[in-house]
Copies of this chain bind each other. A is one copy, B any other.
């Protein structure tokens, strides 16, 4: 164990050294490396598929469920998608060196704020091999060294991907240690990594809630995390019902297993009788199970739409499947109260034609994204135009919501004088 401890520390020290080179690497060199990484991924296709086949065989032998095997699987199409995603990062604007603001002081000092990399980023994730190349590309472009600790079930695939990426780095004259896979191992290795304050600047865990809680509870290094998405759609009295139906259906059914899918519908009493039968029928037709409070259950029942009674446990629950909790509320205040109590600060949407009500909702609903007259599903780095996202934060420190390249940087003050003293 003490050997493993030493290994982990020297891994991080190597990353720290590489990060110093990356911090002042020119954009053109980083982009050249990204394009070389993409080429190397394509060239390594047979190697990647062979490594992945071994991972898959082991996972199958271990009795992993089919959804797990699907996430783990690489094929030619997926490898091509990984390579393209890396190339797309080369086309994004380099955040490093960006002057975000500047001003003059009365004493003549000129002050500006300039973006710089965070340093070393540790990604912890489960068995999706594409996270390895996605995270590596975003870290590199933002001038950060990356330590990538994927799930042990994907270890062979990840090692093969990392080797291809390292070859691309070397081709462009950047340190291969800029991107390093962390050998999977016992929890002890992970614990050691999480304690390396001063060597690791940010840890981003991605995966199930239990992994994220483990990281959050044991880390000494800063963690930006996302526990869950309990997203509400509030249909206000002044909503366009056709729009509200479209939004609710999309938010719930377009991809129910993701964190920006809706889990609960709040409906103003004033339009519940007009709206609920219509939206309820459409939801049920798409296979959604409804869990309704007494008021909405009554209305749905009278309209002949099947709904189970909701219990206290249905509020604030992240189903991640085709189930929707429904509650009738008496206006904006009650909706905000419900969201304040049961929401997860991820995404909250309102449907209304009343700009004043929407203004209060967007100000007062506590979430990384508040949405007026659109689907909750838009709280996503790609959809918002960030280019690509490395994760999503539901805590407010450093970043709140989808994290793109900018969120992988910090800002320093640059002060320019003509000999000023205090």
A24 lies within 8 A of B363 (CB): yes
B373 lies within 8 A of A118 (CB): no
A189 interface residue, CB < 8 Å from B? no
A371 interface residue, CB < 8 Å from B? yes
By a CB distance below 8 angstroms, the chain B residues around A111 are 384-385
Q: How far is the CB of A228 from chain B (nearest CB, A)?
A: 13
Fill in one digit per residue for A363-391: 1 if any B CB lies within 8 Å of its CB, else 0: 11011111111110111000111000000
| Contacting residue for A377 out of B197, B379, B399, B422, CB 8 A | B422
A27 interface residue, CB < 8 Å from B? no
Q: How far is the CB of A31 from chain B (nearest CB, A)?
A: 18
A378 lies within 8 A of B410 (CB): no
| Contacting residue for A384 out of B246, B368, B415, CB 8 A | B415
Interface centre among A114, A254, A363 (most CB of B within 10 A): A363
- Specify how many copies of this chain sit in the oligomer: 2
| Contacting residue for A370 out of B24, B202, B369, B414, CB 8 A | B414
A395-B383 Cα distance, complex, nearest whole Å: 31
By a CB distance below 8 angstroms, the chain B residues around A251 are 421
By a CB distance below 8 angstroms, the chain B residues around A395 are 201, 222
B201 lies within 8 A of A368 (CB): no
A371 lies within 8 A of B412 (CB): no
By a CB distance below 8 angstroms, the chain B residues around A370 are 412-415
Which of chain B's residues has its CB closest to A360's CB? B24
A340-B247 Cα distance, complex, nearest whole Å: 53
| Contacting residue for A20 out of B340, B368, B385, CB 8 A | B340
| Contacting residue for A414 out of B114, B197, B362, B419, CB 8 A | B362
Fill in one digit per residue for A244-263: 1 if any B CB lies within 8 Å of its CB, else 0: 00110111001000000000
A415 lies within 8 A of B367 (CB): no
Whether A109 contacts B340 in the complex (CB less than 8 A), given A201-B396, A396-B201, A397-B410, comes out as no
A275 interface residue, CB < 8 Å from B? no
A187 interface residue, CB < 8 Å from B? no
By a CB distance below 8 angstroms, the chain B residues around A372 are 414-417
A2 interface residue, CB < 8 Å from B? no
| Contacting residue for A385 out of B105, B217, B364, B385, CB 8 A | B105
Contact residues of A with B, CB < 8 Å?
Answer: 20, 23-24, 97, 103, 105, 109, 111, 114, 116, 118-119, 197, 201-202, 216-217, 220, 222, 224, 240, 243, 246-247, 249-251, 254, 340, 358, 362-364, 366-375, 377-379, 383-385, 395-402, 410-422
Can you name 15 A-B residue pairings with CB atoms under 8 Å? A23-B366, A103-B385, A105-B384, A118-B397, A217-B220, A240-B419, A243-B418, A249-B421, A250-B422, A369-B413, A370-B413, A375-B422, A378-B420, A384-B413, A401-B413
Give 19 A-B pairs besides A114-B362, A373-B418 with Cβ atoms closer than 8 angstroms: A20-B366, A23-B364, A103-B385, A105-B383, A111-B384, A118-B397, A119-B396, A222-B222, A250-B421, A250-B422, A368-B412, A369-B414, A371-B417, A372-B415, A374-B421, A378-B415, A379-B413, A398-B398, A399-B410
Q: Which 8 A-B pairs have the closest CB atoms?
A: A374-B417, A250-B421, A396-B410, A243-B419, A369-B413, A398-B398, A374-B420, A222-B397
